[in-house]
């Protein structure tokens, strides 16, 4: 039964997760944390790990959650074999429908790329993607990332703003900023 629930959840994520990985975070969080397959802390960890590993966050989360969800739903399914089966199922379900939809859509768009309707649709989608990414940023501003105490929140926000300034304005390499933020976190906490 858990596999059918995972298929349904990742089918929705794969088909309706517009705008790429970060824009999909709110949808992934609602579909995966909501049913209790993972905790909010585990979701935050998945996002962090997905940023450091190759591949899109939707696929990385599908693979990981497909592995752990069977064991969370039933101790009888905690064997690695059930986890591997869940990983394969979730990864395929999140990729294949999107791939087929993209294949069809790209064929349609290439035939009608000069159409005013197609151009209008793309102009309308741009602000939606920005809003979805902003939603993902707000979603990650939770107690799992920023702690519970007011002092911890202030320190965390300072590290967050500093990281943004270093990447966006100073143009420091993101890996170096991650190392600096990790060192700052180690010193401050």
187/109 same-domain check: no
| pTM for the structure as a whole | 0.61
Mean pLDDT of the chain: 85
Q: How far apart are CA 78 and CA 67, in angstroms?
A: 9
155/70 same-domain check: no
116/44 same-domain check: yes
Q: How far apart are CA 22 and CA 129, in angstroms?
A: 9
Specify the pLDDT at position 92: 95
pLDDT one-digit tens code per residue, 96-113: 988 898 899 899 989 998
Provide the token pair at 34: 């909501």
How many structural domains compose the chain? Answer: 2
185/117 same-domain check: no
151/139 same-domain check: no
185/169 same-domain check: yes
62/87 same-domain check: yes
Angle at 41 between CA 38 and CA 46, to 5 degrees: 75
73/136 same-domain check: yes
Q: Which domain holds residue 138?
A: 2-143
Specify the pLDDT at position 25: 84
The answer to whether 65 and 37 are in contact (CB under 8 A) is: yes
57/132 same-domain check: yes
66/113 same-domain check: yes
Q: How far apart are CA 57 and CA 46, in angstroms?
A: 8
pLDDT one-digit tens code per residue, 40-62: 888 888 888 887 788 888 888 88
96/15 same-domain check: yes
Residue with tokens 């929140």: 153
171/109 same-domain check: no
């Amino acid at each position: 039964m858990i596999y059918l629930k995972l298929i349904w959840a990742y089918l929705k994520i794969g088909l309706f997760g517009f705008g790429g990985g970060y824009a999909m975070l709110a949808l992934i969080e609602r579909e995966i944390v909501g049913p209790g397959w993972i905790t909010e802390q585990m979701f935050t960890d998945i996002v962090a790990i997905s940023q450091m590993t190759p591949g899109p966050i939707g696929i990385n989360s599908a693979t990981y959650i497909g592995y752990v969800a069977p064991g969370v739903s039933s101790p009888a399914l905690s064997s690695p074999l059930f986890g591997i089966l869940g990983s394969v199922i979730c990864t395929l379900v999140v990729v294949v429908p999107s791939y087929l939809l993209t294949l069809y859509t790209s064929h349609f768009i290439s035939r009608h790329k000069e159409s005013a309707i197609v151009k209008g649709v793309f102009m309308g989608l741009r602000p939606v993607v920005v809003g979805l990414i902003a939603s993902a940023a707000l979603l990650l501003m939770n107690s799992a990332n920023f702690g519970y105490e007011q002092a911890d929140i202030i320190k965390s926000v300072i590290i967050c703003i500093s990281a943004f300034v270093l990447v966006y304005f100073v143009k420091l390499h993101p890996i170096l900023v991650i190392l600096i933020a990790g060192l700052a976190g180690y010193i401050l906490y």
